[in-house]
Structures are given as C-alpha cells and as structure tokens.
Amino acid sequence: MIKLSTAVFALALFACGCASFEPTPYQPAVDGGYGYSDEKLGPTEYRIAVAGNAATSAETLWDHLLLRAAEITLGAGHKYFVVAPTAASRLATIKPAFLMPQFGLGAGAITGVRTPLLQYQGLPVGVEPSRELIASLSIALTGRRQAGASNVFDARAIKQRLAPEPGVLQPAE
C-alpha cells in the first residue's frame, strides 16, 4: 500500500516534469538572469551575450544578439556593425550555459529522452541536462558597408526585422 506522502511526492515530480514554459523574451539580463548583456571593449567595440532558458532556441538567441548589436550601433550614431569571427571562424558562440538536473516521470525516462539516473521506490526518475544556452559575439561599429564582406550587418534593417512587437518588454537605453 502506498503512503499518502509517497503519492504526493510522485505527483509533484510528475508535475515538474510536465511543466511548460515560454522562451526567454528579448530583455536585459538582471542579476545574471536570462536576457542580454553587453560590455564596451573600446571606442567602437562591444561584446554581447544572451542567456536563454531551455525553451529558447539557438536561432532565437542569434536574433537577440543581432537585435542588441543593431540597437548599440544605432544608439552610437553608426549605420553598420561588423561581427568579428571567433578563433573557430564562427560569427557567434552558442553553448550550454551549465548543466542542471530536471526531474520528471513518464515514458521519456524509459525511452532515453530522459536518462533514468536514479529511482524512487522502484520508479525511474528521469534526469536530463539543461538545454539552457548562452550565446556571445563581438562587434565593431562602422559608418560604411564593406564590399564583399558577409559579416557586416545593416543595423536599421536588422532592427526593423527583429524588433519585438509593441507591448513586449523594450530595453532601457
């Protein structure tokens, strides 16, 4: 016979595993939370980072990086920004932020979607690494487009294409 506390615990684990949430919105990161942050490296050079929760795709993080770069560029009175390639010749680095266990019960624990690393009273409890991501890039501001360069972006065009809908949290300038 199952005790009431055991059933409540199992139900709580199941609810945690089934919870759904929204992708990280475009917003400034506050106290190390999700969102964007930037650092001025020189007169026209910046490093931008965006942290997203597990529901945020790498494509969304890339869009947030570009939008923040466009805002910085236009705010400084420039028209274009150049994304500096990384040592691996990539424009941006997108990697897991850190690993954090996420618990839940269900078919995923058996099929391998969730890895059954521990059990509670004989029931597999799935634990999977977090899919939280952090993306970063470095930019240099410029007033003119460089012919043939694929890493130069028009700040106004980026902002028009990627700016959040009205009513969505806007960054403080």
pLDDT value, residue 95:
76
Helix (H, G, I), strand (E, B) or coil at 79: coil
Confidence of residue 21 (pLDDT cuts 50, 70, 90): confident
Could you tell me the two tokens for 156? 């106004």
Report pLDDT digits (tens) over 38-59.
999 999 999 999 999 888 888 8
Spatial CA neighbour of 62 closest among 167, 122, 136 = 136
Helix, strand, coil in percent for the chain, rounding step 5: 25, 30, 40
Select the more confidently predicted residue: 158 or 9: 158
Residue, of 24 and 119, whose pLDDT is higher: 24
Q: Indicate the pLDDT class of residue 98, thresholds 50, 70 and 90.
A: low
Q: What is the mean pLDDT of the chain?
A: 74
- The pLDDT assigned to 102 comes to 45
Nearest to 11 by CA among 116, 123, 112, 113: 123
Q: What is the mean pLDDT of residues 25-44?
A: 93
CA 128 to chain centre: 18
State the Cα–Cα distance between residues 112 and 66, nearest whole angstrom. 35
Give me the pLDDT at residue 92, please.
79
- In this prediction, residue 151 carries a pLDDT of 86
Measured CA to CA, the distance from residue 115 to residue 128 in angstroms comes to: 6
**pLDDT one-digit tens code per residue, 99-153:** 444 444 444 444 444 333 444 444 444 434 456 888 899 999 998 887 777 889 9
Please check the confidence at residue 79 and state whether its pLDDT lies above 80.
Answer: yes
pTM to 2 decimals? 0.66
Judged by average pLDDT, the poorest of 1-5, 66-70, 78-82, 124-128 is 124-128
**For residues 170 and 19, what is the distance between their CA atoms, to the nearest angstrom?**
27
pLDDT at residue 65, rounded to an integer: 93
Helix (H) or strand (E) holding 10: helix 4-18
* Residue 31, pLDDT score: 86
